[in-house]
């Protein structure tokens, strides 16, 4: 069977072989089907995704030609085991959830959430899940609204997974490079409070209270300058705990 990868450059893995569509309409067609609910899209939606506001004359025939090319490629890679079917009003890519890295990731993230709620999650489990990521979703492929929405959705899920990972790692005692990684995430996502909280706790755990307070105050300044709002009660309580030497801030749970 084939394994489809979209958490990074678009790629199809086959026994002893692999194919990476090099952009273009074939890549957008395959990507659109992979990220759509049930891997089905109407012909109209596919035309819009591939050609946008400038569809060719005879767009449906042009789409059929693209589908035929992709079908031949999939058949050659899978010996006919993967079906790209024409259904009423559209096309279906008939694959199992375990054959798509994004589905494996989202299902794994649900298990992570369940274990985290039960207090049984280990950072290594989240780290293994994050290994599915090889780069930006679809390698930064520019498609239409369907691909764009999927890129945003999966990136948000990746950030959730990172939050779970760092939460566990801090509770487990941390790693030497965890502070540097969290600083990068706070800089890249300045309004994402959970990374800021994790950075502050990690700094306190290694005795860097002054740096932890500076991170809180920098967060306050960014929110005020960019959004005109104050930090959340969570961040304010964090500052208070640092200033009053709350023992919980300085020991692993």
CATH number at residue 154: 1.10.10.10
pLDDT tens column, 167-183: 999 999 888 899 999 99
Whether 53 and 85 share a structural domain: yes
Whether 116 and 31 share a structural domain: yes
Domain count, the chain: 2
Whether 127 and 229 share a structural domain: no
pLDDT band per the 50, 70, 90 thresholds, residue 251: low
**Of the candidates 172, 201, 234, which is a domain's last residue?**
172
- pLDDT at residue 82, rounded to an integer: 85
pLDDT tens column, 36-45: 988 999 999 9
Whether 141 and 202 share a structural domain: no
pLDDT tens column, 47-102: 999 999 999 999 999 999 999 999 999 998 888 778 999 999 999 999 999 999 99
Whether 164 and 184 share a structural domain: no
Whether 119 and 155 share a structural domain: yes
pLDDT tens column, 217-226: 999 999 999 9
User: Which residues span the domain enclosing 244?
Assistant: 176-253
Question: 156: which residues sit within 8 A by CB, 6+ positions away?
Answer: none
């Amino acid at each position: 069977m084939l394994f489809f990868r979209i958490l990074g450059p678009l790629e199809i893995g086959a026994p002893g072989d692999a194919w990476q569509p090099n952009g273009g309409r074939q890549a957008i067609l395959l990507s659109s089907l992979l990220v759509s609910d049930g891997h089905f899209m109407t012909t109209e939606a596919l035309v819009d995704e591939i050609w946008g506001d400038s569809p060719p004359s005879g767009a449906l025939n042009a789409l059929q030609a693209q589908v035929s090319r992709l079908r031949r490629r999939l058949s050659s890679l899978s010996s006919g085991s993967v079906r790209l079917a024409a259904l009423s009003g559209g096309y279906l890519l008939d694959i199992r959830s375990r054959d798509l890295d994004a589905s494996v990731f989202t299902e794994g993230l649900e298990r992570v959430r369940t274990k985290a709620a039960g207090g049984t999650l280990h950072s290594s489990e989240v780290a293994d899940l994050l290994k599915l990521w090889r780069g930006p979703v679809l390698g930064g492929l520019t498609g239409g609204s369907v691909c764009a929405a999927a890129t945003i959705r999966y990136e948000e899920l990746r950030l959730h997974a990172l939050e779970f990972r760092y939460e566990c790692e801090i509770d487990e005692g941390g790693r030497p490079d965890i502070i540097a990684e969290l600083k990068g995430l706070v800089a890249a996502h300045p309004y994402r409070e959970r990374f800021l909280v994790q950075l502050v706790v990690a700094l306190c755990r290694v005795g860097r209270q002054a740096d932890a307070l500076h991170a809180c105050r920098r967060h306050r300044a960014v929110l005020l300058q960019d959004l005109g709002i104050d930090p959340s009660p969570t961040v304010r309580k964090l500052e208070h705990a640092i200033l009053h030497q709350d023992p919980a801030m300085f020991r692993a749970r």
